[in-house]
Amino acid sequence: MVRSFKNPELRSKRISDKLKNNTNATGHKYIITEETRLKLSEKSKGRKMSDENKLKMSKRMIGNKNGLGHKMSKENKDAISKRMLGNKLGKGIVFTKERKEKIGKSNSIALKGRTISQEVIDKIAKTKIEKGIQIHPDQLSEFENYRRNVLKETRKHKKKLFARWDGICFYTKEDISKFYNKEDYNNPNFPVIDHKISIFDGFNKNIKEEIIGNINNLCICTRLINGIKNKNSFI
């Protein structure tokens, strides 16, 4: 006799309870061996989803921004938002050393020994260099010297820049002066110095270090905006 559940929630709960207890339908405790896993893996190879199932899945995913087949309730969104407040990574969780090691181990298992070939790495690097978003390896030492000289020039103007600062973020035009607490240096809203024409662009365009580090090319913004802006320049 095949059981049918008119209530999807009840069905989901029964399945969830069985999985939690690691039991089969008769309540017998079982353990999946490595041999069984391999057999299941071999059996599933080459399987293709039918057009009917694809259509059903497509209909469930319509209107869902995340493409997960269901919409998140307002309560869940609020709960996630609350967890994310004050988190430096902005992801709602703090990665401990143990958690990082666990994730690393899981990823290595998922990759199953596969590694990116040097040829692919070189190809990616070449594309980035051609697009001007990465420094050529032969120019790295030259770029580092340029960067150090720019920062040396920048430090000369730091006191004067903050002395005449009105407390407003140059990019968002919001008051961020209340976040200027040296003990909370890693706060995303902490005011930091930014180069309107970036050091990266200055180097690529052969602009003198004194110009990039000059007070006229400096502004103050939040640490978050500075990170997002990265190598880009403000025009």
This prediction has a pTM of 0.46
Q: How far is CA 88 from CA 2, 139, 155, 183, 226, in A?
A: 51, 33, 26, 15, 15
Residue 154: predicted pLDDT: 94
Residue 98: predicted pLDDT: 78
The Cα–Cα gap between 213 and 197 comes to 9
Residue 194: predicted pLDDT: 94
Residue 55: predicted pLDDT: 77
Residue 232: predicted pLDDT: 86
Question: How would you write the pLDDT of the chain (235 residues) with one tens digit per residue?
Answer: 445 555 666 766 776 666 666 655 555 555 667 777 777 777 777 677 777 777 777 776 666 555 555 567 788 778 777 777 666 555 555 667 777 777 776 666 555 556 667 787 778 878 877 776 777 777 778 888 898 899 999 999 999 999 999 999 999 999 999 988 877 888 889 999 999 999 989 998 999 999 999 999 999 999 999 888 888 887 6
